[in-house]
Structure 1
């Protein structure tokens, strides 16, 4: 009797477990859906919080000056106009400002990526005491505020004869601690076996760097290029200190010249600001698809 009752009890528990299993799966699935919905809702809230002021800023640039502060405030312009854009482009030497800024941003970006790539590779793959000292010095620069280095940098640029020249903006911005650290961190993840295999095959150091390491680091190069271009495009303090000739002003200094001492033409200022944003948006849309992970183990056997 006891054996039969145990068998019946076991069968009943198994049947009850089978009945509970679908309910458990449904509960787990509902919890996962709830987590995904809450995370998605939170992300949408953040996206709207960031996008709404930008949308208001762009739409306000199409409003006449009299409608910017009229009550009640409206998101969309009552009367669409391009007067802010045309006045900003015609009243100020925006074409020259654009040319100067593009020269500074492009040249600095190319030199920054090249110098950071070479420095990061040397710091990651070569063991040398002086390289370690150089790395410590680079790290030390990240602990200093930018304002502390403005005065000595200005004195060096003045003594080199680069004051009031676009080269005076470019030279101090070539080597950045962020770029060196990005490339060093990436090259540390590249297996040393790949370098040793190339050396065994007779490749020289420069050949290893240009034919193997540089192609592998393309995602980091593009990422740093986007950052560097953005930094130089939006730079204001350093060009303001170095440049004195209005024909050599960059775009940010030109936008600041719109702000008058007594009043501000907000329509013109908003139009000029939106114009200055267009190259950065185009740059991001063009290069974002190229910023992807690289398979650094593609040349190695298991």
Structure 2
């Protein structure tokens, strides 16, 4: 997280190319599935879950996997949804990765299209309404994802343990 993304462009290209994912959908999607911010969010959320919840499940006879799958993961739903929203928004707005991961016109993303619109033939003129309309249309899917999942973000660990 401390290293600027621009520094990682050449190594990212080399890894994608070496794995044979250049100019493919997997090269566009797989590198964006996980990031350090998501790891930090989940770590902090799991640390906030009371240990007594896990102890009560062990007393009831649940194993480690059962405790995680049936108790801890449902309690972590707000963190998972938050990571989903942040990852979708970050991936949607990622331009550098899509430029590095493909040059095939069939794999053109909306972000690359808007960037080419702003730097292509329209950049010479004052076509600001077209550029702003393209940018506004690009924000609609992110807004929809947020509004659909915003009700799912709530603290579900409240009331789990009576102390």
Tell whether the structures are fold-level matches, with TM greater than 0.5.
Answer: yes
Separation in structure 2 between the aligned mates of residue 235 and residue 243 of structure 1, nearest angstrom: 13
Q: 2:113 aligns with which of 254, 258, 281?
A: 254
Give me the TM-score of the superposition, normalised by structure 2.
0.89
The structure with the larger Rg is 1
- List, as ranges, runs of 4+ consecutive aligned residues in structure 1 with deviation greater than 4 Å: none
Q: 2:64 aligns with which of 194, 197, 205?
A: 205
Greater relative CO (CA pairs within 8 A, separation 6+): 2
- Aligned partner of 1:193 in structure 2 is 52
Give me the TM-score of the superposition, normalised by structure 1.
0.50
Corresponding pairs, count: 160
Gaps of 5+ in 1: 1-141
- Aligned partner of 2:104 in structure 1 is 245
Separation in structure 2 between the aligned mates of residue 301 and residue 194 of structure 1, nearest angstrom: 10
- Aligned partner of 1:179 in structure 2 is 38
Q: Within 5 A, what are the aligned runs for 1:101-250?
A: 142-250=1-109
Q: CA RMSD in A?
A: 1.7
- Aligned partner of 1:263 in structure 2 is 124
1:277 aligns with 2:136: no
Deviates more, 1:241-250 or 1:254-263: 254-263
- Aligned partner of 1:287 in structure 2 is 149
How big is each residue's C-alpha offset from its partner over 1:191-238, in whole Å with a ceiling of 9 and x where there is no partner?
112112222322222211111111101111111111111001111011
Gaps of 5+ in 2: none
